[in-house]
Chains A and B, each alone.
Chain A
Amino acid sequence: MKNNIIILGGGQAGIYAAREIRQNDSKSNIKILGEENLLPYERPPLSKDFLLDKKKEEDLYFYSSDVLKNENIEFENISINKVDFENKKLFAKNDNVYSYDSLLISTGSENKKLTLDNNLKNDIYYLRNLEEAKKIKEIVSNKNKITIIGGGFIGLEIASSLSQLQKKVIVIEIGNQLMGRIIPKQIADLVQNTHIEHGNEIILNKQIEKITKKNGDYGILLNDNSLIETDFIIAGIGSTPTVKLFENTNLKLDNGIVTNQFCETSIKDVYAAGDVSNFYHPFYERNMRLESYQHAQNHGICAGKNIAGVKTEYSSIPWMWSDQFNLNLQLTGICDEYDEIIERGNDINNGVIYFFLKNNKIRGACGVGIIGKVGRDIRITSKLTEKDNIVDKQILSDQNLKLNKLIQK
């Protein structure tokens, strides 16, 4: 039967879903509606190689328009501002109406904004999309002292890139460590040291009281009364799922769109995938929301299969990375449910990994090291986590013993 399938949100999850649907269903109409006037592209380079000019816009696209054309996948640049789930319709600002039989919501997430009591709203920059990355890149070329508000992954990656562009960078973080509590403090400190070694200033435990502007420069007053003078401000203070559109509908929301392990939402024929979805993970037996490249891809593919009628459970072990200076940090599984932590290595040159265990089984791990040094062990850890066996802690903690011994066991 020929269906009208609409994918709302033309990002990573959306494009992977579209291609997967087509692989399993040659007849249905597949249409992606995206508010960015760009084919789906990779976001990770925006804070890294794109700012450093090592990657150009044309390097970022997942697939060319030819691939979409060959697979008969339509992409329309439009912003949807109303949904009617009952009558299966989407409405755009320009009065266009789109009817669907199946809908995938892949609207991603959006940056939290600072609340400021003066009218400097437009003076603070954020980074989520290519347009913002281009703007930042252009403006920083004339700036020297740049302040990043928020010491999360994206803020720190921007700090690393701008430092490599010879800028003086200050990072202000409200918490007592970088990258949030989920990252072991020891790993956060290793990353912090690398920033400091490269000349970045890291300020922890400080809140912003006020931002003022004078002669085009800014003064940031902190809660200990210190004043940071700076000529450009970028904020990276976290993100929220893009669900405003669904707030007054029947769609079940709770930190994103609630979905089961088949990417199905509370409404029949409506699916969600990627950053926007708070999905049930059957292995961890709980819901979670992830903002990661690999998840957006695999979750999109899984949603595509289910939409095409190939019932498929999503049980991928989470994984994400962050690149800062010559460091590569990786996280696998979950690191917030454990009764024991095991440390492997203590030298960033050989890689440092913290394993999180519960009932003697691995639930997740976080590692950091000079590029290339933790990837293999983190990948093996994902496999060990999936196997769900009791592990030999001696092997985990001793860097001289190869982790793949545990897989072969």
Chain B
Amino acid sequence: MSEENWIEVGSTDSIEEEDLIRFDHQDKTFCVYKLTDGFYATDGICTHEAVHLEDGLVMDDEIECPMHQGIFNIKSGEAISPPACEDLKTYLVKVDNDKIFIKID
């Protein structure tokens, strides 16, 4: 994949630890998380019924959907608690000069 696919999300201090921000790019929505060991990114919409995960709760390595408490692992995207059953897509993240970038394919 080419360098162009790395999109700048914002500065590293724009996210509190154990929290997330929503990032919209073209017609897609992403969530970018700051966990204790670094930054991660997933699709921003729950795979269950299309609600924005930006309003969800980040706990340890998991994001819990605000609508029906479906839970996903932030690092792998795995759906780990129903009613969510379809995995969440994850994206590569890099930090360069205190800026966060995600790789969109």
A294 at the A/B interface (Cβ < 8 Å)? Answer: yes
State whether A379 touches B64 (Cβ < 8 A).
yes
Main secondary structure of the interface of B (DSSP, over half): loop
What 1/0 flags go to B73-89 for Cβ under 8 Å of A?
Answer: 00000000011000000
- Please give me the 7 A-B residue pairs with the lowest Cβ-Cβ distance, nearest first: A375-B66, A372-B55, A376-B57, A372-B66, A379-B57, A372-B51, A376-B66
Q: Give B66 Cβ to nearest chain A Cβ, in Å.
A: 3
Q: Give B79 Cβ to nearest chain A Cβ, in Å.
A: 13
A42 at the A/B interface (Cβ < 8 Å)? Answer: yes
A98 at the A/B interface (Cβ < 8 Å)? Answer: no
Interface residue count for A (Cβ, 8 Å)?
A: 20
Q: Give B64 Cβ to nearest chain A Cβ, in Å.
A: 6
A50 at the A/B interface (Cβ < 8 Å)? Answer: no
State whether B82 touches A375 (Cβ < 8 A).
no
Main secondary structure of the interface of A (DSSP, over half): mixed
**Which of the four size classes fits the interface of chain B?**
10 to 19
Contacts A294-B69, A321-B68, A379-B64 given; indicate if A372 touches B57 (C-beta within 8 A): no
Q: Give A61 Cβ to nearest chain B Cβ, in Å.
A: 10
Q: Closest chain B residue to A373 by CB distance?
A: B55
Given contacts A297-B82, A404-B57, 7 further A-B contacts (CB under 8 A): A44-B83, A321-B67, A321-B68, A323-B67, A372-B54, A376-B55, A379-B64
Residues of B within 8 A of A404 (CB): 57
Q: Closest chain B residue to A404 by CB distance?
A: B57
| Cβ-neighbour of A42 out of B51, B54, B66, B83 (below 8 A) | B83
State whether A375 touches B83 (Cβ < 8 A).
no
Instruction: Tell me the chain A residues, 390-407 only, with Cβ under 8 Å from chain B.
Output: 404
What 1/0 flags go to A44-70 for Cβ under 8 Å of B?
Answer: 100001000000000000100000000
Q: Closest chain A residue to B56 by CB distance?
A: A376
Q: Give B68 Cβ to nearest chain A Cβ, in Å.
A: 6
| Cβ-neighbour of B67 out of A62, A319, A372 (below 8 A) | A372
Q: Closest chain A residue to B52 by CB distance?
A: A372
Residues of A within 8 A of B67 (CB): 321, 323, 328, 371-372, 375
Q: Give A375 Cβ to nearest chain B Cβ, in Å.
A: 3
State whether A293 touches B83 (Cβ < 8 A).
yes
B41 at the A/B interface (Cβ < 8 Å)? Answer: no
B65 at the A/B interface (Cβ < 8 Å)? Answer: yes
Residues of A within 8 A of B52 (CB): 372
CA distance A373 to B49 in the complex (A): 15
A187 at the A/B interface (Cβ < 8 Å)? Answer: no
A374 at the A/B interface (Cβ < 8 Å)? Answer: yes
